[in-house]
């Protein structure tokens, strides 16, 4: 690493392409040619903090460093972590009213007394905790084991998810009865109750790494929302086929409401329930 303090704020074309390809190989996130400014914005702080002379030196360092923290820092920098509780609520209504009763019935026919849901790019935890609260509110799940797995590639969002302290923006869509029951307000910071936290297990999983995804199996439902939009088609196909393997037969996958798996896979059957598309494993 260079000790020179002067930093270049602009990435050269060749370095941009190499950095972009490096990020893509590691994460599936594809930065198009016209988004060089995106990498300049996201990486400039690392360049300054670590005293790299320029992006070329940083790229070289990344390529030959065996330090996992450097890669983790890169993942933190290039991911977009926007999320909030009860985002795209129609999907949660379908989960509650349609899928849960069906899953409980099918699982009990198989001798299973559990329900397993995976939030596959959970960011700071709002999505898996929303699911957890919904499950806790379902009377038919009282004697059913509730397992929620929540994962992300970014270690910093996972740390924040485990803390489970939220600001007003995150909680703005939470129905008042959930707010009163599951949160404690300490001066505008809302602390989630241990009851909800206890049924969510956080993991660091990269959606394009088979070895990492394979730690999970037998999921009834997977939420993989608002992450595949950052991938190119090849990476989307890879992630979706790994998710396929993690689902139990006839399990369901939700992607974001603005996303579609139309050209990505034929292994799922799109099922429309109350205007919501759920992708069922066939
Ligand atoms: C915009 S957030 C979506 C959060 C939540 N699913 C939602 O819809 O509100 C996208 C998340 O995907 C994560 N992500 C990006 N690439 C990933 C990868 N290859 N594997 C796992 N997570 C990834 C990011 O770190 C980020 O937290």
Q: Is 236 in the pocket of ligand 1 (CB under 6 A)?
A: no
Q: Which of 1.10.155, 3.40.50, 2.60.120, 3.90.930 would CATH assign to domain 13-78?
A: 1.10.155
Q: How confident is the model at residue 66 (pLDDT cuts 50, 70, 90)?
A: confident
Q: What is the rounded average pLDDT of the residues 80-105?
A: 98
Cα–Cα distance measured from residue 208 to residue 217, given in angstroms and rounded to the nearest whole number: 16
| 153 pocket-lining for ligand 1 (C-beta < 6 Å) | yes
**Using a 6 Å cutoff on CB, does residue 220 contact ligand 1?**
no
The domain spans of the chain are 13-78, 89-281
Digit-coded pLDDT (tens) for 239-253: 999 999 999 999 999
Give the integer Cα–Cα distance in Å for 28 and 89: 27
User: Atom 7, ligand 1: which residue's CA is nearest?
Assistant: 83
pLDDT score at 65: 87
Q: Give dist(CA 156, CA 159) in Å, integer.
A: 5
- Whether 73 shows a pLDDT value over 90: the answer reads yes
Confidence class for position 147, pLDDT limits 50, 70, 90: very high
> What confidence score (pLDDT) does residue 8 get?
61
Q: List Cβ neighbours of 230 (8 Å cut-off, separation of 6 or more).
A: 28, 29, 30, 79, 80
User: 89-281: CATH homologous superfamily?
Assistant: Vaccinia Virus protein VP39 (3.40.50.150)
Residue at token pair 């070289």: 60
Q: In the prediction, which pLDDT does 6 show?
A: 41
Average pLDDT over residues 94-110: 97
Contact predicate 178/125, CB 8 Å: no
**DSSP state at residue 231:** B
Q: Is 157 in the pocket of ligand 1 (CB under 6 A)?
A: yes
Q: 155 vs 93, 169, 201, 238, 258, CA distance in Å?
A: 30, 22, 14, 22, 26
What is the per-residue pLDDT for 9? 80
Contact at 8 Å (CB) between 28 and 208?
A: yes
Tell me the C-alpha distance between 229 and 241, whole Å: 16
**Segment 153-178 mean pLDDT:** 98
Instruction: Kindly report the number of other CB atoms within 10 A of residue 214's CB atom.
Output: 12
């Amino acid at each position: 690493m260079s000790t020179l303090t002067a930093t270049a704020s602009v990435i050269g074309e060749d370095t941009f392409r190499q950095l972009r390809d490096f990020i893509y190989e590691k994460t599936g996130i594809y930065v198009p040619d016209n988004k060089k400014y995106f990498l300049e914005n996201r990486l400039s702080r690392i360049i300054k903090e670590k005293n790299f002379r320029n992006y070329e030196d940083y790229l070289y360092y990344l390529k030959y460093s065996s330090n996992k923290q450097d890669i983790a820092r890169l993942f933190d920098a290039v991911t977009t972590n926007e999320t909030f509780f009860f985002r795209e609520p129609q999907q949660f209504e379908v989960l509650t009213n349609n899928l849960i009763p069906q899953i409980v019935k099918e699982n009990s026919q198989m001798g299973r007394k559990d329900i397993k849901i995976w939030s596959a790019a959970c960011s700071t935890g709002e999505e898996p905790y929303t699911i957890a609260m919904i499950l806790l509110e379902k009377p038919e799940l009282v004697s059913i084991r509730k397992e929620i797995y929540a994962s992300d590639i970014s270690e910093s969002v996972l740390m924040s998810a485990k803390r489970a302290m939220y600001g007003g923006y995150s909680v703005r869509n939470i129905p008042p009865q959930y707010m009163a029951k599951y949160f404690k307000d300490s001066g505008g910071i809302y602390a989630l109750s241990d009851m909800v936290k206890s049924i969510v297990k956080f993991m660091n999983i990269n959606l394009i790494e088979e070895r990492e995804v394979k730690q999970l199996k037998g999921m009834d439902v997977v939420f993989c929302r608002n992450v595949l939009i950052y991938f190119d088609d090849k990476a989307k196909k890879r992630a979706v086929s790994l998710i396929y393997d993690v689902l139990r037969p006839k399990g369901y996958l939700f992607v974001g409401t603005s996303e579609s798996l139309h050209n990505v896979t034929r292994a799922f059957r799109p099922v429309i329930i109350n205007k919501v598309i759920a992708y069922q494993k066939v």
